[in-house]
A and B are shown apart, each in its own frame.
Chain A
Amino acid sequence: MHFASFEFLIFLAVAWPLWRLLQARAAAGLRVPALLYLLGISAFFYGCWQPWYLLLIGASTLIQYGVGLALSAAEDPRRRKLWLVVGITADLGLLGTFKYGNFIIENLEAAAALAGQPLSLPRVPGELPVGISFYTFQTLSYIIDLYWRRIERARSLLDFAVYVIFFPQLVAGPIVRAADFLPQLQRAPLDGLAHFGRGLGLILWGLTKKVALADVLHAGVVAPFFSDPTRGGALDLLIALWAANFQVYCDFSGYSDVAIGAALLFGYTLAPNFNRPFWSTTPMEHWRRWHISLSTWLKDYLYIPLGGSRAGPARTDLALATTFLLGGVWHGAGWRFVLWGLYNGLLLVAWRRWGPRDGGGRLRRLGLMALTFHAICLGLVFLHVEDLGGAGAAFGALGRLTAPSSAAPWGLVALGVAVGLHATPTDWRERGLGVFAAMPGWGQAAAVGLVGAVLALFGEWSGPFFYFQF
């Protein structure tokens, strides 16, 4: 049941009115029925993918809650460190087994075959559980923050379980920090017509970006080129990369908008995940504005512990490259993700050392934006091909100076619209959401109906959200 589906709209239409009955009780201090309800509908939402996913997330929740209890009770530093190691090992073990298990096994077999000793190892059964990368990072941040004594432990297993499984952010983020979310469960959920209207508006806005822009960009520009890069030239590659960058942006920022809007309908806030990333004048700034919840997670729990910028230039370079390499691997089990992470890590290192400095006049800033945008675009080649051969074929297009031919005209229109939307000032969107929130009920219903029909119209192009594969 992904967000851009009829099933999700029905799910919301059933789950929300019942929630309203309990929300009033939660506002009056009766938290448990409301939290049990959130847990139940979130488990239903997640179980619709595969019921056995619930076993995994349930096990992870129980283990990390237990580790949290032990951490908060322990005073001895060595004991605390031991519990931290137990928690991290459990989370990374889960992630490693289900996300990277088969990748590791396949590479071991390939290495053994190269060495003339063919191996046949058993595979990890089943497909990659949806959302596992996101919820393991959430529970990791919980136990690490407890270890650092930055937060109080969850008040109960129920609070912690809702924090982990709350359906809007479960399958593709934003990665929510316990410090931001657990306190919200202690107080009454937000209520008000403005919140309702804003939540609904964000859902519609996100779905529109996903279905009417991201999927159209994919079908009209990205897929035609990357399905056979040998047919295109340098301009085809360039246009496909622009479209790919905006496709992922519209897809994932659209997903994040739906998640934030759905959470708001239920009275909870999730932090913004994108801040017009293509206005960045350096790659460092780009990653501060892109998938903010992951970037800040990697910064807080990986880059800074690795030394950050405090231990000399060489150590900073190493920390940056390692953080981005692991960030790439987090996105998927495959060499293309390794290469993508490595590319971005090295890009940041090189830019820090030799790249142009930020600042200057408007023209210079525009030039830096274009440079940064294209540097990020180049890395996307690795995400859109199956293997190194595919990347070679795509880059091979640079050697052919022919008129662009692979993009469909309607795909280029979508690209223009996406560029325009990205360039729109943030406060325009906020004003638009304000206008939507102030509309009468029938107007909001008409907007929902229109977006639903557009969603169905483009439905045959609509695939799962890009970040589900991660």
Chain B
Amino acid sequence: MSEGAGPGGAAVTRRGISVLAVLFAGAVGLTALSDALGLRWAEPQRWPTDLLAFADLPMPSRPAVVIVGSSRASMALIPGEIERCGGAAPPDPSAPQVYNLGRAYTTLIEVEQLARGLLSGPRAPRVLLVALDPEAIDAHNPRRPGALRGGLALSDVPGALVEARGLREGLAALRALTRGPEALLRVASGRHRADPRLGWLMRAEGGGQWCTGSPACVDQNLDFKAVMADSWERVEREVLPDWRAAQTPAWAPGAGPIAAAWAGLRAWAAENDVEIVVVELPFSEVWRSAAPPEIWADYADWIDQNVTQQGIPLYREPAGRKGRRADWLDPDHMSELGATGLSRRVCAGLGLPRPAAGG
């Protein structure tokens, strides 16, 4: 006989299964509810709810530029610098015209999901700036599960589960089912309005991780630098040693889902009258040398075939341009100084922001 407290055996099994069933049904129901309430973008991502702040913004006219890409993009391009390109004064200083929606671990698959899910109607920008890095075109990017759970609509979950390559991607897809309870609690807590990094930065400065041009930005940047103070050492210690081993074996540039996402993104752009431009993100020498030469060669080939030959405007740093250590927060994320310079070169190189038609 089993030693017990109260009814045991089948009663305990029934209780456990019923708890699991109620949990599952509750999570899916609350996710559907939160999506219906327009809270899909209060997602459990690295910088939660700044997309919700973007979705909440009144948008009297289409944004001039929206930047998409990975965390590198969020730190490399400063919306305010692009908006003030060449010293031009923005038309309405209280309403940003350029936004940075860079998300950690984003590939082109998440870029397409973001474009189709969030950048429609008045939020469809005149220019979508796709900030590219090699991992963004890697269909087997091992870091993708970190982004996956944030970008999936409820209806995408079964497909993502079927397509999951391994346990991590499967769990990440399942995690999307729990977006609802998390989003409702997140919004109820009001953090996306109360926390400067989650609300003010998007509303006042167009998002991203750096901003320039105001005393508030100076404080914001100082806070961010304090948070990331040991970033270079941490990446060298924890990321670089495993990067080659994690990234290289299954490297699949532009394969299947990436090709479909790129085609889908271009179709979305055509449907919404959006011009796509591409920026090839720079890397520090430390990071460049960590990745095998064949990855860089494949990456260059992909850009040549899918961007240059397609007539899509491309910004690439001049050959031989040597960055300084001070341009980098860590080996693959730019500092405020580096991002300021790059943003100015990008806007000059691509002629951003483009004037609105008739304006």
Contact = CB atoms under 8 A, between A and B. Distances in A.
- Whether A and B are associated in the same complex: the answer reads yes
A457 B1 contact: no
Contacts of A460: 46, 48
A449 interface: yes
Interface of A: 6-7, 10, 13, 16-17, 20, 23-24, 27, 187-196, 200, 227-228, 267, 441-442, 444-446, 448-450, 452-454, 456-457, 459-460
5 contacts: A6-B175, A17-B13, A188-B2, A191-B12, A444-B19
Contacts of B12: 20, 191-193, 195-196
Most buried by B among A188, A267, A450, A453: A453
Given A10-B174, A194-B5, A453-B184, 20 more contacts: A6-B178, A20-B12, A24-B9, A27-B1, A27-B2, A27-B9, A188-B3, A190-B4, A191-B8, A192-B6, A193-B6, A193-B8, A227-B229, A441-B15, A441-B22, A445-B20, A449-B27, A454-B185, A456-B44, A457-B182
A126 to B, nearest CB: 10
B186 interface: yes
B25 to A, nearest CB: 9
B2 A190 contact: yes
A192 B185 contact: no
Contact of B19 (A190, A200, A228, A267): A200
A448 B4 contact: no
B16 interface: yes
Most buried by B among A227, A452, A457: A457
B60 to A, nearest CB: 32
B3 A191 contact: yes
Contact of B4 (A6, A16, A191): A191
Majority SS at the chain B contact face: helix
Contacts of B22: 441-442, 445-446
Nearest to A190: B3
Given A17-B20, A445-B19, A456-B44, A6 B171 contact: yes
B37 interface: no
Contacts of A200: 19
Contacts of A449: 23, 26-27, 181
B89 interface: no
B171 A195 contact: no
Contact of A457 (B5, B15, B174, B185): B185
B189 interface: yes
A453 B3 contact: no
A459 B44 contact: yes
A442 B18 contact: yes
Nearest to B46: A460
Contacts of A228: 226
A452 B178 contact: yes
Contacts of A20: 12-13, 16
